[in-house]
């Protein structure tokens, strides 16, 4: 079974302690992820990036609100879908900024497999956690097409943050028919309390996403 590695949003704003939206413990996984991505045998490696325009709908200052405020996201014009409750975030991963760049050790990795950077969150009028599509599944990235062009059947998802973009990317992959595994040792979450993690595990299991803890056997 051909396998791909999807490394989600290991960028300075998430992985560096000085980043705008630093994930606790994120620095611990950067080197291991870079090493994992360099292993031979992957059919394809995707490095995803949040790549937001300055006027992105998820940025709290664009609404005159404080970061982490609750927010109702309304579908863009022409999209027939109900509003979704979500969160407003600090300004982060703005296109071309230091915070949007891949963490240096990952950016410098000599990846042997076919690989590419996949940008998400590029549309200003819609939130996007999954590396495959926006929250209304209205606009899609090239990730699914890239995986299929390399004959991928099983995707391993890692990166940042487990309870947001890693989770959403994994659920999308499973919905699209890929066998999907999250590598827990290669990801970190924002909410790490027992109740949040139990809820996350249950949600992922309900979407046929498996969790693997330990050194994942390489392809």
Structure tokens at 43: 């059919």
Q: Please answer whether residues 191 and 164 qualify as being in contact, where contact means their C-beta atoms are separated by less than 8 angstroms.
A: no
Which H or E element spans position 159? strand 154-160
Question: Is 120 a residue of the active site?
Answer: yes
Provide the Cα torsion 92, 94, 99, 105; round to 10°.
120
C-alpha–C-alpha distance, residues 185 and 198, integer Å: 17
Catalytic residue among 3, 9, 50, 144: 9
Catalytic residue among 13, 16, 120, 163: 120
- For residue 125, give every residue at least 6 positions away whose Cβ sits within 8 Å of its Cβ, in sequence order, or none: 57, 76
Strands 70-73 and 84-87, bridge-based pairing: antiparallel
C-alpha–C-alpha distance, residues 84 and 200, integer Å: 19
Task: Decide: helix, strand or coil at residue 48.
Answer: strand
Nearest C-alpha neighbor of 27 from the set 36, 16, 43: 16
- For residue 105, give every residue at least 6 positions away whose Cβ sits within 8 Å of its Cβ, in sequence order, or none: 30, 31, 34
Catalytic residue among 50, 134, 144, 165: 165
Burial of 217 (0-12, 13-18, 19+ CB in 10 A): exposed
Please identify every residue annotated as catalytic.
9, 120, 165
């Amino acid at each position: 079974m051909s396998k791909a590695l999807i490394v989600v949003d290991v960028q300075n704003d998430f992985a560096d302690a000085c980043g705008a939206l630093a994930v606790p413990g994120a620095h611990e996984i950067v080197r291991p992820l870079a090493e994992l991505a360099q292993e031979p045998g992957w059919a394809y490696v995707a490095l995803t990036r949040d790549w937001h325009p300055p006027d992105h709908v998820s940025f709290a200052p664009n609404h005159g609100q404080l970061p982490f405020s609750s927010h109702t996201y309304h579908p863009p014009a022409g999209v027939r879908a109900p509003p979704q409750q979500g969160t407003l975030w600090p300004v982060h991963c703005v296109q071309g900024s230091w915070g949007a760049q891949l963490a240096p050790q990952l950016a410098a990795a000599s990846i042997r497999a076919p690989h590419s950077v996949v940008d998400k969150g590029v549309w200003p009028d819609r939130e996007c956690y999954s590396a495959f599509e926006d929250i209304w599944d209205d606009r899609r990235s090239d990730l699914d097409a890239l995986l299929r062009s390399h004959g991928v059947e099983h995707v391993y998802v890692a990166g940042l943050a487990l309870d947001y973009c890693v989770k959403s990317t994994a659920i999308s992959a499973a919905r699209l028919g890929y066998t999907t595994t999250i590598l827990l040792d290669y990801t970190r979450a924002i909410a790490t309390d027992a109740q949040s993690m139990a809820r996350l595990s249950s949600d992922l299991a309900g979407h046929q996403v498996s969790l693997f803890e330990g050194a994942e056997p390489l392809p």
